[in-house]
Amino acid sequence: MPTDVTRDDLGHPLEPFAAAGPARRVVSLVPSITESLASVDPGSIVGATDWCTHPTDLDVPRVRGTKNPDVAKIAQLSPDLVIANKEENRELDVRRLRERGVRVWVTDIETVPQALSSLGRLFDEALRWPRPSWLEAATELWTAPMPPVHRRVAIPVWRDPWMVVGSRTFTGDLARRLGLDNVYADHPERYPSLDVADLDAAGADAILLPDEPYVFTSADGPEAFTLTPTELVSGRLLTWYGPSLIDAHESLARD
């Protein structure tokens, strides 16, 4: 028996392709990864979620959302590989797909270095596709030593109830690598729920309001805070990993 079994980020073995060569029919259940795949071979993407909004011209069958994918439809697409993420997708749906004989690769990403490493393994071992040039460029940008902190921030991701980025999250790690100190970085929960008054009084220099997963806008979010300045930011730049990492470093990094 060979010992060099290919395993996903959670250690689950990936059965070999039925035919030799790279994956040619791929379903992505992760918006960040859909954008990453499209940068290399958009023609091989045969399914994506409703939340996979980049690239904007991606024209493929939609398989509902990240939390409620249409398992039967995915199986009918006869994919070589389905790509999921531990945080964004449910273990139940991954299990149901595997029970139907569908090959699923699950990523596990809580930091920027993990994202870069996981994407590299995805292209090398699961897809057997060439690595995109942006992955090397992003690695050079994001693996520098941690910069000094220049601002304390809080990052809500939902309201009613208000939820913020806590500990052990990709977004929190990305923010720290931009010199931003997350007020809730040491919270025991990854996405704690808070009273908005407590959030407003937490001592942040700014509240960063992304436009996803909750769509904060100038008319929905800033009005809840009277003590702390708010800033609207791109959710894609703050929460996605993939080609967006290049734009995020250029747009969000500050001296």
Q: Which CATH number does 151-252 carry?
A: 3.40.50.1980
Whole-number pLDDT of residue 5:
80
pLDDT of 166: 98
How many other CB atoms are found less than 10 A from the CB of residue 222? 16
Other CB atoms within a 10 A radius of the CB of residue 33 amount to 27
Give the pLDDT mean for 102-130. 97
- pLDDT at position 128 is 95
Per-residue confidence (pLDDT) for residue 21, from 0 to 100:
79
Residue type, 146: M
Which architecture, in CATH terms, is 26-141?
3-Layer(aba) Sandwich (3.40)
Q: Give the per-residue pLDDT at 2.
A: 44
Per residue in 1-44, pLDDT (tens digit) is: 344 689 999 999 998 766 667 999 999 999 999 999 999 999 99
Q: pLDDT class for 226, splitting at 50, 70, 90?
A: very high
The predicted model scores a pTM of: 0.92
Gap between the Cα atoms of 182 and 73, Å rounded: 40
Dist CA 70 CA 228 (whole Å): 42
pLDDT at 222 over 50: yes
- Domains of the chain: which residue ranges? 26-141, 151-252
Strand order across the beta sheet in which 180-182 lies: 180-182, 151-154, 206-210, 230-233
Q: Is there a shared CATH topology between the 26-141 domain and the 151-252 domain?
A: yes
The average pLDDT across 118-143 equals 96
Q: What is the pLDDT of residue 254?
A: 60
